[in-house]
Amino acid sequence: VQLQASGGGLVQAGGSLGLSCAASGDTFDTYGMGWFRQAPGKEREFVAAVSWSGDTIEYANSVKGRFTISRNSAKDMVYLQMNNLIPEDTAIYYCKAERLAVTRRPDLGSWGQGTQVTVSS
């Protein structure tokens, strides 16, 4: 499956941004979808994931209550709505697709190209 992320940008602290990730090339409904991020000088970290069925959703503690992941199987899309952004959310955000459920393993699944999110204080 191929992934194309979009929607990043520059926003002030307390603001909101929505990210989108379009999937193509395989049966979308068989994939768990997730978002990861990588800040300068840091390792890539998990942000949020939704299972292939949409029944299971998971968030990193750092974004719980502020970010919402969702998927639209009719459009082969996954979204990440980010509210109440803080400077620590500044990173490149990557979407990931993996059969059935997203794992933390960087060597498994397919990755999009990343989109930059910058939160100014």
Sign of CA dihedral 78, 82, 7, 36: negative
- As a whole number of angstroms, the distance between CA 101 and CA 34 comes to 9
Task: State whether residue 65 is helix, strand or coil.
Answer: coil
- As a whole number of angstroms, the distance between CA 98 and CA 65 comes to 24
36 sits in which H/E element = strand 31-38
Q: What is the pLDDT of residues 53-98, one digit of tens each?
A: 999 999 999 999 999 999 999 999 999 999 999 999 999 999 999 9
- As a whole number of angstroms, the distance between CA 32 and CA 50 comes to 6
- Report the pLDDT averaged over residues 91-114: 94
Q: What pLDDT is stored for residue 100 in this prediction? A: 87
Q: What is the pLDDT of residues 22-65, one digit of tens each?
A: 999 988 889 999 999 999 999 999 999 999 999 999 999 999 99
pLDDT at 109 over 90: yes
